[in-house]
Amino acid sequence: MSLPLPDSADDWGFETRAIRAGTERSAFGEHSEALFLSSSFVFEDAAEAARRFQNTEPGMVYSRFTNPSVQMFEARLATLEDAEDCVATASGMSAILALCLGHLKAGDEIVTTGSLFGATIQLFDNFMAKFGVGIRYVALTDPQAWKDAIGPNTKLFYLETPSNPLTEIADLQAIGEIAQKAGVLSVVDNCFCTPALQRPLRFPVDLVLHSATKYIDGQGRVLGGAIAGPRALVDPVRQVVRTCGPSLSPFNAWVLLKSLETLAVRMRAHSENALALAQWLEQQPAVARVLYPGLPSHPQHALAMRQQSLGGAIVSFELRAENSDQARERAWALVDGVRIFSVTGNLGDTRSIITHPGSTTHGRIPEEARQRAGITQGLIRLAVGLESLKDLKADLAMVSDSDWKRRKN
């Protein structure tokens, strides 16, 4: 039994859709969505099997491309992103790869920015370029640079906003309009904000992409990715997933589906903690600058507050230092000194995370690319979780010491 949205999606609020939309009940009438751990599905007869394989009849065939748990997650995320359709993938990186395979060919060009997750830069530079796709980098925050970069073979604008890890904000209205006028596909990675805080498809943006591993899961348990937008643009990506197999597993889909139920309350709590911690960090003597979209001091604060309902969970800051070597030494000392923050490269967890991007998430990209992205050795990225704010401040107390005397015991 399907529980579709009402005729007008506006009849249900975001929180209601996050809990109710996309639910499919089996003949058993379960209240919580069922988990369908099956690699394949049985047909009534040969004729039904033929119709299913030829896509002339809807229904399950094989879990690489049809599974009830996965489809419920896709349907729910689609409505949260105000999208017509959604296809889920095994990870955020596989979503980017499937996007490129579905919409690009040799000779085409991507216009993007150095303000990206390090693995995305590696995917573009080391793999897409190998197959004849050109890559052109521009400043994320300069719409004119995006316009000037368009050439005869430009087919895709790809961007993150807020960016990773500097939380730069792209002007979705301006860049989207530029892409539309040029007939270029625009794609926004909405991983940091999720649809709870930002919905790129409300701007002139074609597709929205997620690493569902992050805040959509929200507890660091499973991997997943997704692309949402108009059906005509999602379908080429779906065909890549069907044929090449970077599919989301039913178990991971079920976990992510249940995680969406708490997305709104989690993102509000993350944002409240992050704003308070960012405000505190601005007052600390060892901190040179704090980058958080919710702070008035952020270079694109006004733009962020037009596009986002709250600032999100990611706070980045730079430590004061006389040179790059000292900056790295101090950054590592801070990372080594924490007791509550988890030292890991992930983000999007209820547990707060501290990361030194220059030696981890962006450590494998060339120095030139790191410089282009503004990744200094003194940069620290915090993914602020849901712990007590008092405890998080105490864990970072080293930044209160301008002489940098505190060390890990």
The total of structural domains in the chain comes to 2
The answer on pLDDT for 402 being more than 70 is: no
- Measured between alpha carbons, how far is residue 365 from residues 57, 113, 246, 358 in Å? 47, 14, 24, 9
Task: Look at residue 10 in the predicted model and tell me its pLDDT.
Answer: 58
DSSP state of 247: P
Are residues 247 and 90 in contact, defined by beta-carbon separation less than 8 angstroms? yes
Whether 295 is covered by a domain: the verdict is yes
63: how many CB neighbours lie within 10 A of its CB?
21
Q: Which of 145, 197, 195, 207 is nearest to 170 (CA)?
A: 145
Q: pTM to 2 decimals?
A: 0.92
237: how many CB neighbours lie within 10 A of its CB?
26
Q: What is the CATH number of the domain that holds 355?
A: 3.90.1150.10
Q: What percent of the chain is predicted at pLDDT more than 70?
A: 95
pLDDT bin (cut points 50, 70, 90) of residue 26 is confident
| Rg, Å, the chain Cα set | 22
Query: Of the candidates 225, 246, 262, which is a domain's last residue?
Result: 262
pLDDT tens profile 309-339:
999 999 999 999 999 999 999 999 999 999 9
Q: Which of 6-20, 148-162, 237-251 has the lowest mean pLDDT?
A: 6-20
**36 and 23 belong to one structural domain:** yes
**117 and 220 belong to one structural domain:** yes
Q: How far is CA 386 from the centre of its chain?
A: 19
Q: What is the CATH number of the domain that holds 256?
A: 3.40.640.10
- Examine residue 293 and say whether the peptide bond preceding it is cis (omega within 30 degrees of 0): no
DSSP state of 323: S
**189 and 85 belong to one structural domain:** yes
What residue ranges in 148-279 does DSSP mark as E strands? 154-160, 185-189, 207-211, 225-229
The answer on pLDDT for 105 being more than 80 is: yes
Whether 2 is covered by a domain: the verdict is no
Are residues 22 and 56 in contact, defined by beta-carbon separation less than 8 angstroms? no
**228 and 301 belong to one structural domain:** no
Average pLDDT estimate for 93-113: 98
Question: 407: buried, middle or exposed (CB in 10 Å: 19+, 13-18, 0-12)?
Answer: exposed
Question: 320: buried, middle or exposed (CB in 10 Å: 19+, 13-18, 0-12)?
Answer: middle
Quick one: residue 263, left, alpha or beta (phi over 0 = left, psi -120 to 50 = alpha)? alpha
Task: Look at residue 3 in the predicted model and tell me its pLDDT.
Answer: 46
For CA atoms 146, 211, 200, 218, the dihedral sign is negative
Task: Look at residue 371 in the predicted model and tell me its pLDDT.
Answer: 74
Separation between Cα atoms, residue 258 and residue 41, nearest integer Å = 23
Whether 56 is covered by a domain: the verdict is yes
Separation between Cα atoms, residue 204 and residue 23, nearest integer Å = 29
Q: Which domain holds residue 214?
A: 9-262
Average pLDDT estimate for 47-57: 92
Are residues 314 and 165 in contact, defined by beta-carbon separation less than 8 angstroms? yes
pLDDT tens profile 200-233:
999 999 999 999 999 999 999 999 999 999 999 9
Query: Of the candidates 262, 289, 311, which is a domain's last residue?
Result: 262
Q: Which of 16, 285, 299 is nearest to 141 (CA)?
A: 299
Whether 408 is covered by a domain: the verdict is no
Whether 127 is covered by a domain: the verdict is yes
Query: Of the candidates 262, 280, 305, which is a domain's last residue?
Result: 262
Helices (H), 6-159: 14-20, 46-53, 68-80, 92-103, 118-122, 143-148
Task: Look at residue 17 in the predicted model and tell me its pLDDT.
Answer: 94
332: how many CB neighbours lie within 10 A of its CB?
13
**226 and 285 belong to one structural domain:** no
Separation between Cα atoms, residue 75 and residue 4, nearest integer Å = 9
Q: Which of 327, 296, 295, 299 is nearest to 314 (CA)?
A: 295
Six-digit token string for 298: 């952020």
Whether 165 is covered by a domain: the verdict is yes
Contacts of 13 (CB under 8 A, 6+ apart): none
Are residues 174 and 198 in contact, defined by beta-carbon separation less than 8 angstroms? no
**52 and 179 belong to one structural domain:** yes
Task: Look at residue 153 in the predicted model and tell me its pLDDT.
Answer: 98
Contacts of 4 (CB under 8 A, 6+ apart): none
Six-digit token string for 250: 């039913």
Whether 163 is covered by a domain: the verdict is yes
pLDDT bin (cut points 50, 70, 90) of residue 367 is confident
**225 and 361 belong to one structural domain:** no
Task: Look at residue 27 in the predicted model and tell me its pLDDT.
Answer: 85
Run of H or E residues at 231: helix 231-244
**235 and 251 belong to one structural domain:** yes
Task: Look at residue 403 in the predicted model and tell me its pLDDT.
Answer: 62
**219 and 355 belong to one structural domain:** no
**109 and 157 belong to one structural domain:** yes
Give the CB-side neighbour count of residue 135, counting CA atoms within 13 A.
20
Task: Look at residue 330 in the predicted model and tell me its pLDDT.
Answer: 95
Whether 1 is covered by a domain: the verdict is no
**242 and 271 belong to one structural domain:** no
The answer on pLDDT for 302 being more than 70 is: yes
**96 and 170 belong to one structural domain:** yes
The answer on pLDDT for 280 being more than 90 is: yes
- Cα torsion 312, 84, 244, 44 to 10°: value is 130
pLDDT tens profile 57-76:
999 999 999 999 999 999 99
